[in-house]
Chain A
Amino acid sequence: AQSVTQLGSHVSVSEGALVLLRCNYSSSVPPYLFWYVQYPNQGLQLLLKYTSAATLVKGINGFEAEFKKSETSFHLTKPSAHMSDAAEYFCAVSGRRGSNYKLTFGKGTLLTVNP
């Protein structure tokens, strides 16, 4: 079984500040991990994914995440927040290699960016 815990349902940062969104996972098999972003009234857009290659994964819009097996974490970071980053962010785990049919999502973190 797989599960995801996102620490902090709401994170508020100033424009230009570091963004750090936390995600811890639990998986009985080697996981594949994903971060998705959801803007209001839209579906989910993939930011980045970890599929057992490099542990530091770079995504779109300047985001990156680091897979740390010892900490079972996959935190999302961005060095400098932009107003357009305001959205809800979801961490997800796929618990079965070779099949991405079932993603287990966390509850999401709402990111607010203050001018």
Chain B
Amino acid sequence: DAGVTQSPTHLIKTRGQQVTLRCSPISGHKSVSWYQQVLGQGPQFIFQYYEKEERGRGNFPDRFSARQFPNYSSELNVNALLLGDSALYLCASTPWGADNSPLHFGNGTRLTVT
């Protein structure tokens, strides 16, 4: 089975631009989460989505938004990019439930803002 897939793998944008990152979860996984990993730091939680609804949001500005589609894939959008948005953006999927199934991460999208 394919793992979590993210596209693109690398992206270079200019300050002020907008970017869309894409994620396809593992087949059968209905929940998708997004994390931001700045160089030298651990990942930080941005969003979780389940059944197209936002189920959790981290401490990120409103420039960050996301959505989930009926096929459970997801997009993360970042508007008005800042230099500080340069990071590895990780998507993770999990079955929804009470068993604390671990997150399965994709390889990420490396965003560079110049």
Question: Do A and B interact?
Answer: yes
Interface size on B, residues (CB 8 A): 27
Given contacts A42-B107, A44-B105, A103-B103, are A98 and B98 in contact (CB under 8 A)?
yes
A-B contact count (CB 8 A): 66
A101 pairs with B55, CB closer than 8 A: yes
Q: At the interface, yes or no: B74 with Cβ under 8 Å from chain A?
A: no
**B43-51, B62-70, B77-85: which lies at the interface:** B43-51
Chain A residues within 8 Å of B92, by CB: 44
Taking each of A34, A103, A104, which has the highest tally of chain B beta carbons within 10 Å of its own beta carbon? A103
Chain A residues within 8 Å of B55, by CB: 101
Interface size on A, residues (CB 8 A): 27
Q: At the interface, yes or no: A73 with Cβ under 8 Å from chain B?
A: no
> Footprint of A on B, CB under 8 Å?
4, 31, 33, 35, 40-45, 48, 55-56, 58, 90, 92, 94, 98, 100-108
> Footprint of B on A, CB under 8 Å?
4, 32, 34, 36, 41-46, 49, 51, 90, 92, 94, 97-108
